[in-house]
Amino acid sequence: MLDTKQLQDLLVSKHHLEQRLALSMTARPETWHYIYSKHPELAFTLAQNSNLPQELADELVSHPDPRVRLMIARHGQPSFSALKQLSEDNEAAVRLAVAKRQDLDGQLLDSLYEDGDAGVQLTVQLYQQAQQPLARASGW
């Protein structure tokens, strides 16, 4: 396991492969929080980490940059309330990414089936077909 300084150096590197290596490393939750507090400009990079602590993923769900929220929707392991927030995001791309997840419960699925964006509706129908109620799957 890398120490905080080594991990931080890899993340701020201009080399994409070094950043990818850093994201594949395991670290304690407080390490990721420390790095984000010292380098908030790394939010987009950190959001791509599927091992990011849930507390930090939940914090990044409210980030002003929609690209950060999109990466959390794609790669993060946010809490139910954070996933709900992402499923109601102003950006259709974020909601679309949520619609592709396989860890959604019925409440979130129902809201995505009723989304105002046709692309999100189509995505949830394509990706969540196995979880649809029979009536909905048959077109009722």
Tens-binned pLDDT, residue by residue, of the chain (140 aa): 678 888 888 998 888 898 888 888 888 999 999 999 999 999 999 999 998 999 999 999 999 999 999 999 999 999 999 999 999 999 999 999 999 999 998 899 999 999 999 999 999 999 987 555 555 555 55
Per-residue model confidence (pLDDT) at position 4: 87
Residues 8 and 61 in one domain: yes
Rounded CA gap, 8 and 31, in Å? 9
- Single-letter residue type at 46: L
Per-residue model confidence (pLDDT) at position 139: 58
Q: In which domain, by residue range, is 107 found?
A: 88-140
In a domain, residue 64? The reply is: yes
Residues 72 and 37 in one domain: yes
Residues 52 and 96 in one domain: no
Please count the residues of the chain: 140
Quickly count: other Cβ atoms within 10 Å of residue 12's Cβ: 16
78-97 as b/e: b if 16+ CB within 10 A: beeebbbbbbebeebbbbbb
> Taken in order 104, 117, 46, 59, is the CA torsion positive or negative?
negative
Per-residue model confidence (pLDDT) at position 135: 54
Rounded CA gap, 11 and 3, in Å? 12
Q: How many structural domains compose the chain? A: 2
